[in-house]
Amino acid sequence: MNTSTNRRIAVVGLGAMGGAMAATLHRAGWDVTGFDPSEAARAAAADTGIATTAALGDLAGTPYAVLSLPDASIVETTVPQLLAEPGTVAIIDTTTSEPATSKQMADLAEAQGAAFVDAPVSGGRDGAASGSLSAFVGATAVALSAAEPVLLALTGGKYSHIGGPGSGNVVKLLNNVLAAANLVSVGEALGVAQAYGIDPAKAAASISEASGGSFVSANMYPNWVLTGTHDSGFSLGLMARDAALAVDVAVQIGESPTLLAAVAGRWQDALALLGPRADFTEIARTVAPAITPAGAPRTNGPVDGTTAVA
């Protein structure tokens, strides 16, 4: 497999997460070139001192590449273009993708002497900006070794090698569907507290110190729901997709997770009401609208990619 001490790296996808990861790599001394089809995203990256290109083909053969893309289908079209020229050492895919796609891309890269690892991340914009993300890594041992310098820069060593190619995707999808379930259950619980005349913020703080507590109750609800800001930077459309994908992956291997399937259905209902661009924490508006200043969504609002505002 290719090896390199070259610090040149491509970042493909300069949205909220990709742009922050590109900036982190730039500060860590990597020679970063970013690509995004959006001129605005490229301009935002350029403002932080990152070189950009409007043509993905310009990045072919770059020793290292980080992908931060919307879905598996774009991963499938991107990786062959990066491998079109010799020189690639490792491609680190932080996309919440599909395990079958990651297995195919890992085989494609290996055939050309390169590494491909699925390394979907958790930690949001703040983690991406500070180099403190968590990553769920699926890779062979050889591929992991090739990708490790980049993983260390993005996570500070806070990554878990789950298993072979595709396994990182599986565990990330399970993580997200569990978070999706918790967002619903905590919202319903705090709605009950409010109905009893209890301050939901106090209820959330108390629960967070006990056995029912979680990151959702301790952070997401106090910071984004109860304040009404709903500005996590992660969309409801992406969370609804991830919950559905988690159930699909389970079904493909003969499992029938009934509770998780019900959760995925709840997110599809919210998606129909709020649209894919709503913040994912706005699920609370459909679960317990009384606890968020944004209130319940309009039932007759637009759902074609815009957020219905109460």
Hey, which residues are catalytic here?
Answer: 172
* DSSP secondary structure of the chain: -------EEEEE--SHHHHHHHHHHHHTT-EEEEE-S-HHHHHHHHTTT-EEES-GGGGTT-SEEEE--SSHHHHHHHHHHHTTSTT--EEEE-S---HHHHHHHHHHHHHTT-EEEE--EESHHHHHHHT--EEEEE--HHHHHHHHHHHHHHHTT-EEEEESTTHHHHHHHHHHHHHHHHHHHHHHHHHHHHHTT--HHHHHHHHHTSTT--HIIIIIIIIIITTS----S-BHHHHHHHHHHHHHHHHHTT---HHHHHHHHHHHHHHHHH-TTSBGGGGHHHH-GGGSTT-SPPTTS--SSS----
End-to-end CA distance of the chain: 55
- CA 285/CA 225 separation, integer angstroms: 9
Both tokens assigned to 194: 């409010």
- CA 121/CA 38 separation, integer angstroms: 22
The residue type of 82 is L
